[in-house]
Amino acid sequence: MISDLWSAREIFRGRLGPDEDITWYGQPKTSVLFNAHDIFLIPFSLLWGGFALYWEGSVIAALLRGEEKARNGGDLLEFSIFGAVMVLIGLYFVVGRFFGKRWLKRHTHYIVTGERAVVLVAVRTGRILSLDLNDLTALKKSVGQDGVGTIWLGKRSLWTGNQDNTGLEVLGYFLTSRQKPPPVFYDIADADRVYELINDMTRERRNARLGALERR
């Protein structure tokens, strides 16, 4: 734990306030491959991949037979290029995204300080998403039998976060300029304990603030 905190200080050097100390540090477990979204994503990706392969296979077979035009008059070479792109997308969808997810997890770091909960994705210059514990009003956790779980630090909107932790966000990661709130600690070990820690710290800060207001 101490060595973890030590390495966290190195990773977050220059990204924290002068008096800000790290209370907890963690990373998402790379061994967790699947999440609830996969209930839809796996069948859908297999259908996509399967149909793309069927399409490309049919076009290549026709090209090998020496045909140049499809029955509808379309150019088979153009069809094969289109099909190849669909096959590549399908391959990423079916298999590649799990490698993408693992890669992103390796570069993701979570900390809780006395003031904030912070997610850092340390790719290139790094992207940071933090939430002041004073602003935390709704916590949510989902924990498996092995104690590994996910903690949502606030409410997300319907339009953000749907592809998070699926491996698909790796593609979006290079297109968008920032992460979308709220911060989420995905697939962390001992999630119940971290959840309680955040809860306790939030309450302590809230009570201290209320106490200060009452004294005025």
Q: Would you tell me which residues interact with other proteins (CB under 8 A)?
A: 35-37, 39-40, 43, 47, 50-51, 54, 137-145, 149, 152, 155-158, 161, 182, 184, 192, 195-196, 199-200, 203, 206
Left, alpha or beta for 69 (phi > 0: left; psi -120 to 50: alpha)?
Answer: beta
Least distance CB 80 / other proteins (angstroms):
17
> Which CB, 46 or 88, lies closer to other proteins?
46
How is residue 100 annotated by DSSP?
Answer: H
User: Given the complex with other proteins, which of 21 and 39 has the nearer CB atom?
Assistant: 39
CB 164 within 8 A of CB 37: no
Instruction: Quote the least distance from Cβ 106 to other proteins, whole Å.
Output: 24
State which residue, 7 or 157, has the beta carbon closest to other proteins.
157
Task: Give the span between the Cα atoms of 54 and 48, in whole angstroms.
Answer: 10
State in angstroms the smallest separation of the CB of 9 from other proteins.
29
Report which residue type is found at 177.
Answer: S
Radius of gyration of the chain (CA): 23
CB of 214 to other proteins, least distance (A): 14
Q: 114 or 161: whose CB is closer to other proteins?
A: 161
Closer CB to other proteins, residue 30 or residue 35?
Answer: 35
Q: Within a 10 A sphere around the Cβ of 91, how many other Cβ atoms? A: 16
> Minimal distance in Å, beta carbon 138 to other proteins?
5
Q: Helix, strand or coil for residue 155?
A: coil
How far apart are CB 68 and other proteins at their closest, in Å?
A: 20
The sign of the dihedral angle between the CA atoms of 165, 171, 172, 174 is: positive
Using a 10 angstrom Cβ sphere, with 0-12 exposed, 13-18 middle and 19 or more buried, the burial of residue 145 is exposed
Is the Cβ of residue 103 or residue 152 nearer to other proteins in the bound state?
152
| CA atoms 181, 15, 120, 151: torsion sign | negative
Distance CA 136, CA 157 (A): 15
